[in-house]
Structure 1
Amino acid sequence: MAELTKFEEELNKLKTLEKDREKYFSSRQEMEMRLTESRNVKAELDLMDADSKVYKLIGAVLVRQDLEEARSTVEKRLEFIESEIKRVEASIADVVKKSTEQRDKVMNIQKSFQMAQQAAVAAQQQKK
């Protein structure tokens, strides 16, 4: 009975790791979209002349912003998003490794159950 409880605990750990993996994948996908959007903004800002007017949306108000300040802000945002993507990818690699190890652990417990069951059946057949 203790083996069954241990099996259920290990299976729950595996399920938790799988949920974490999905959460990280979703997070990475969202960051990839933000990265693409920021790259598009940077490309547009790079096309602008030095005397162009740039406005930043703050709440429901457009506020005039210096072009160089806007470029700097977008550059910093790109750096931040890229570093966050690297962090999330490292987390994904870690959780994938842990999931693989946990899956192996669960499969080994299952194999031991099957072997014990086969041994019990063989012992019963010998008694007959």
Structure 2
Amino acid sequence: MRVVLQRSKEAKVEVDGKAVGSIEKGFVLLVGITHSDELEDVKYLAEKIAHLRVFEDENGKMNQSILDSGGAILSISQFTLYGDTRKGRRPNFMNAAKPDQAKELYDQFNILLRDQGLTVETGIFGAMMDVHLINDGPVTLILDSK
């Protein structure tokens, strides 16, 4: 499981020109699932993200988690994180999980984040989405459960 995490000042996702999810301060998460991912991968990354200290404290140091800072999450499914570009000029997406497996684990990931007390907004799984964000910092991290 891969997640591209971006600390944001505000973000929203639109489908067919209509906002389906939006947040103020927090994280935009682009979430990719591969064939070998299981519930343990989902649990690991949900826990890691909830407690990752990348928000500034009163001294300007990245010392607070999203739980500490009161931020929210905009979670977007993103199978293209498993695109393989080593050969040719067009990505191969064979490493991305099939939609039924990916949706189940993606939904579980969002549930686990909510279970930790976080507000989680999402896009629509499998839809073409327009994601708007103001990246804060910018702070962008790539997390992988492997």
TM bucket by the smaller chain? Answer: under 0.3
**Which has more helix, going by share of residues?**
1
- How high is the TM-score relative to the length of structure 1? 0.24
- The structure with the larger Rg is 1
- The TM-score normalised by the length of structure 2 is 0.22
Q: Which has the higher strand share?
A: 2
